[in-house]
Amino acid sequence: MAANLLEFDLEGLAAFCETLGEKRFRSVQLFRWIHQRGEAEFARMTDLAKSFRDKLAQHATVKVPEVLSQHLSRDGTVKWLFDVGSGNAIETVFIPEEDRGTLCISSQAGCAVGCRFCSTGHQGFSRNLTTAEILGQLWFAEHFMRRHLGRADRVVTNVVMMGMGEPLQNYDLLLPALRVMLSDHAYGLSRRRLTVSTSGVVPMIDRLARDCPVALAVSLHAPEDGLRDRLVPLNRKYPIHELLDACLRYLPGAPRDFITFEYCMLDGVNDHPDQAHRLLRLLRDHGGRGVPAKINLIPFNPFPASGLRRSPAARVQAFAAALNNGGIVTTVRKTRGDDIDAACGQLAGDVQDRTGVRVRMARSRSALQLLDTGRNT
Ligand code: SAH
Ligand code: SF4
């Protein structure tokens, strides 16, 4: 069976080239063709030896999941739904801003953590995405957007692992994908512009610190264990003090000198002014000297099965003001792509309910074809 070259970081690609009887250094050229130029056809990699191209054509592919649908929002946000087989779809969202382009990437089909307020969590866990499926989202989005916008320079400047799934519960397959994102021969993202978001898998936070320190976002959502146990069931295994200890261990080698804490604002659940003050005290006092932090409040994106409501805007503003006044920089996440349901936590589950597997399969389109016609879509 042909190897999908999107499975490999540069080290892995070099080893693969060796199995084809090629010198390791040839892999750098190949790696650049794939990631910097978005080329999937070996025949078009004109500066590789013909014999090498022939071997690649026989033993390798560059393959991303089929695109089930593509939605372009009025505000420039683009959302793709990819078919990862067995009725599972995953979602990727591109969010353009004046000075950057952020891609939100999925790491699993479904999620085993089962947070109360998350539609991915409500779907349950299907499977881990492969490295190629994780990296393929960036490969496809970057090169599609370049063609679509008629640009030659980099479009995706920031990546956030905030799509479907818990990235740190798919650690081994995530790691090579992160390495390719950071590689100067590929996407060349800086460590500060690559963010892993986690619900708090403590041992894996430590491993990430050792293997590949990037920006860390922690989904906190509650200032005390009782409430967090209910909202983020993983808290029963790794309670808040252990999670904050892991954050303190993470910071010395991290590219940023603070942890971003995400806090989803749920009406009448975690948005009381007292809870803002408890959150302040928690982050200011933990471990004696506190945890250097920024807080990102996310207005809850409701879905029917959750039985929860979004906090009113005034309460979100008051909560943010209390935290800012207390000395922790706090922002409220803007909702983008509202017209195409591209907001956090509204991912593929929805589509599955509406259209069913068979219809979605019928609509599936080859990602490579889409890439070729990117300019016209
Ligand atoms: N599993 C990881 C990353 C994916 S979720 C994590 O939990 O951090 C990315 C962010 O979206 C998390 O902060 C999560 O809490 C938030 N989120 C999930 N469902 C949401 C919803 N319905 N409304 C608003 N934010 C949501
Ligand atoms: Fe999983 Fe994150 Fe959703 Fe929780 S919020 S269920 S960890 S994807």
- pLDDT cut 90: percent of the chain above it: 88
Q: What is the pLDDT of residue 356?
A: 38
Mean local confidence (pLDDT), 189-194 = 98
Mean local confidence (pLDDT), 282-286 = 98
Q: Is 377 in a helix, a strand, or coil?
A: coil
Show the tokens assigned to 342: 């591209």
Kindly list the distances between the CA atom of residue 46 and the CA atoms of 43, 132, 155, 170, 248, in Å, as whole numbers in the listed order.
7, 24, 25, 36, 49
Distance from residue 118's CA to the centre of ligand 1 (Å): 6
In CATH, the architecture of 66-361 is Alpha-Beta Barrel (3.20)
Q: What is the pLDDT of residue 374?
A: 46
How many Å apart are CA 232 and CA 225, to the nearest integer?
Answer: 10
Kindly list the distances between the CA atom of residue 106 and the CA atoms of 45, 134, 150, 197, in Å, as whole numbers in the listed order.
30, 7, 26, 11
Distance from residue 349's CA to the centre of ligand 2 (Å): 13
Q: What is the pLDDT of residue 1?
A: 85
Please report which helix (H) or strand (E) contains residue 262, including its range.
strand 259-265
* pTM of the full structure: 0.94
Residue 41 pLDDT > 80: yes
**Closest CA relative to residue 139, chosen from 59, 57, 60, 37:** 37
Instruction: Give, to the nearest 10 degrees, the angle between helix 313-325 and helix 273-285.
Output: 30
pLDDT, tens digit, for every residue of 76-122? 999 999 999 999 999 999 999 999 999 999 999 999 999 999 999 99
Residue 322 pLDDT > 50: yes
165 CB within 6 A, ligand 2: yes
97 in catalytic set: no
Q: Top-level CATH class of 3-61?
A: mainly alpha
For the chain, what is the mean pLDDT? 92
Distance from residue 65's CA to the centre of ligand 2 (Å): 22
Residue 336 pLDDT > 50: yes
247 in catalytic set: no
Mean local confidence (pLDDT), 242-248 = 98
Where along the chain do its domains lie? Answer: 3-61, 66-361
Show the tokens assigned to 264: 């989803």
Handedness of CA 277, 214, 240, 314 (dihedral sign): positive
Confidence category of residue 377, pLDDT binned at 50, 70, 90? very low
111 CB within 6 A, ligand 2: yes
Mean local confidence (pLDDT), 19-43 = 97
Instruction: Give, to the nearest 10 degrees, the angle between helix 10-19 and helix 26-35.
Output: 120
